Amino acid sequence: MSEIRHVPRAPTETRRLAGGVAVDEHRHDEPQVVYASAGILEVTVADGTWFTPPTRAIWVPAGVVHRWLVHGSSTVHLVGLPGRSPLPGDRPGLLPVTPLLRELIMAATGQPTDDPPGRRLLAVLRDQLVLTPGPPTMLPRLTDDRLRAVADVVERELAHPEALDRLGRRVGCSVRTLSRLFRSELGMTFPQWRSQVRLHRAALLLAEGRTVSQVAAACGWSSPSAFITEFRRAFGDTPGALSRRPADP
């Protein structure tokens, strides 16, 4: 087993990356904000994968082992925050990227932050950090074989969704047991979990350049308008607007 990289200081920098470029597992002694200006950003930790388009950044607390990658060409902005963490808890989360926060992230990754002006800039940025309310977009890691069997079917046949009782019959497990497992193992219901799977697949297809209608059909929504409504609720913008968004120059 390879040793996990330990980077004591969380870097503050900009990386221009092609789609599919990944950064391997590592950890910092400081928290970090990870923001992709285009495409879809994924950050994977022990219990699952957080994902978001550019309307959100991903908060990585100090000490959390993580890896990340982008789907679609993007500019990734990393902001390390030395000193006391501005947010509570030791679990990653999503940060709404307001116009002000976006400009602060751009400014922080475009100049030194270890001099007085840079430290003042980081202080303002820290004050703008708040975790997104409501359900996060996150795919939990599945460890139970019965849940993984259901997930295999759902992900393979996402365009043709089935009820949990029918899925249970296909994998040889009762709907009652599966419902209990989704709640006890993942902390969510089956429909909530499947919604995460659909949003994740939809985001990746949009990053590949698929149209809204194609994505809605491929991911099992009843209509493009139903897809747009759920996507906007999850990410704060329409899929069409996000798919047209270019990376920073």
The topology under which CATH files domain 140-243 is Arc Repressor Mutant, subunit A (1.10.10)
Which pLDDT does position 248 carry in this prediction?
64
Calculate helix-pair angle for 164-171, 145-156, nearest 10 degrees: 110
The Cα 233–Cα 214 span in angstroms is 20
2 pLDDT more than 70: no
Report pLDDT digits (tens) over 176-223. Answer: 999 999 999 999 999 999 999 999 999 999 988 899 999 999 999 999
For the record, the structure tokens of 237 come out as 């913008």
Q: What CATH number labels 5-127?
A: 2.60.120.10
Structure tokens at 230: 């759920």
What are the pLDDT digits (tens) for 85-109? 999 999 999 999 999 999 999 999 9
| The pLDDT of residue 247 is above 90 | no
**pLDDT confidence band for 112 (50 / 70 / 90):** confident
245 pLDDT above the threshold of 70 = no
Kindly list the domain boundaries of the chain, sorted by start residue. 5-127, 140-243
